[in-house]
Amino acid sequence: MKPILIAGPCAVENESQLMTTAEQLHEVTTRQGLLLDFFRAGVWKPRSNPDSFTGVGERGLTWLGEVQRRFGFRVCTEVMTPAQVEQCEKAGITALWVGARTAVNPASVQKIADAVKGKPFTILVKNPLVPDLKLWQGNIERFLQAGVEQVMAVHRGFADSNENIYRNAPCWEIPIDLKVSFPELPILCDPSHLCGQTKWISQIAQLALNYGFNGLMMECHCNPSEALSDAEQQITPEEWGNLIQNLTFKINAPNADLIKQRALLEHVDTQLSELLAKRMEIVDEIAHIKKENNLPVVQPQQWQQVKERYLKEGQDPAYREFLTQFLELLHQASIQRQK
């Protein structure tokens, strides 16, 4: 499947900024033969600081409608309330995203899900600010249960108090677990909000593609340094085009060599699980002998010898670490069983 591409400014600031950005993106996509699936721009901006630019509001929808008509882009914008859903519907905007701040409140998300029920909206569900997989999954479920046909997830990173090179911590295991729980759901990466600075965007975008993400949402502005929000993470449409051109998109197609190696791996895994079951039977026998002979369950020297037998000098450090953890796990399971 073709990667899903979304680009556009963080916010609609005025008619001229929006039209110039859209026109430049149109020029770049035409020149490079790219299909932009959605043009993004927020008209309502939930900001931490009440004195920050909070968006132009409903009048921005008219300009977004104009972008749709003039350049043939499908536009998407952020909604926080059912009233905003209604305003978007009136303006002919049928792709909406739920932002990271709204996503922390299931009641608000449910209200939006109720408002889009039975209507032909595409919904992009950003991860909540907190690294809570269940909350993100629950939000997606709300839209699936409302019968929304096209639901997509967007990974934009998680707020944390650690000093990070990113604006938001990636916690890659969370979107990867989400992909496992919703294999059919397209999941996009938003490297702009993840990084917070333009210098890391292409590396993070490539990493996301290597992981198997289905697309990218990125912030583009005709004049990033003058942007009224997220100035440090926005790139120009021209830079966006270059960035996309230099990425390696992964092919999601069956591969005969991979299928063969997977079959071999499955065979080994089956043997492993049979061996582990056999090992447990032996552990039961050992437990019995120890009990009969009044011997302690934990015999540290014995365990030390086991580790020395398998952990050897010169092993790859990552493999050594894995083996140590694996042996510890086996030992713990064995003690647990004997107890």
- Interface residue list for ligand PEP (CB under 6 A): 10, 42, 99-101, 126, 156, 193
Least distance to ligand PEP from the beta carbon of 4, Å?
Answer: 15
- Residue 111 contact, options ligand PEP, Mn ion, none, Cβ 5-8 Å cut-off depending on partner type: none
Which of 73, 72, 81 is closest to 105 using CA atoms? 81
- Residue 126 contact, options Mn ion, ligand PEP, none, Cβ 5-8 Å cut-off depending on partner type: ligand PEP
Q: Can you tell me the distance from the alpha carbon of 272 to that of 266, in angstroms, rounded to the nearest whole number?
A: 10
**7 is a site residue for Mn ion (CB under 5 A):** no
Residue in 4, 5, 7, 10 binding Mn ion, rule: CB under 5 A: 10
Helix (H, G, I), strand (E, B) or coil at 219: strand
Residue with tokens 């909540």: 128
Closer residue to Mn ion (CB): 13 or 230: 230
Closer residue to ligand PEP (CB): 156 or 221: 156
Q: Can you tell me the distance from the alpha carbon of 74 to that of 129, in angstroms, rounded to the nearest whole number?
A: 27
**Residue 206: which region, alpha, beta or left (left: phi > 0; alpha: psi -120 to 50)?**
alpha
Which of 129, 216, 204 is closest to 166 using CA atoms? 204
Tokens representing 317?
């450090």
Least distance to ligand PEP from the beta carbon of 271, Å?
Answer: 45
Total residues belonging to the chain: 339
Which of 215, 246, 50 is closest to 124 using CA atoms? 215
Write the interaction track for Mn ion spanning residues 183-222; mark x where CB under 5 A is met and - where it is not: ----------------------------------------
| Angle at 9 (CA atoms; ends 171, 245), nearest 5 degrees | 70
**230 is a site residue for Mn ion (CB under 5 A):** yes
Least distance to Mn ion from the beta carbon of 229, Å?
Answer: 6
Are 53 and 235 contacting, i.e. CB atoms less than 8 angstroms apart? no
The number of residues that bind Mn ion (CB under 5 A) is 2
Least distance to ligand PEP from the beta carbon of 326, Å?
Answer: 38
CA torsion 221→225→226→232, rounded to 10°? Answer: 80
Closer residue to ligand PEP (CB): 46 or 65: 46
Least distance to ligand PEP from the beta carbon of 177, Å?
Answer: 19
Closer residue to Mn ion (CB): 140 or 217: 217
- Residue 156 contact, options ligand PEP, Mn ion, none, Cβ 5-8 Å cut-off depending on partner type: ligand PEP
Instruction: Please list the residues that pair with 7 across neighbouring strands.
Output: 39, 218
How far out from the chain centre does Cα 321 lie? 27
Closer residue to ligand PEP (CB): 3 or 99: 99
Closer residue to ligand PEP (CB): 42 or 241: 42
List interacting residues with Mn ion (CB under 5 A): 10, 230
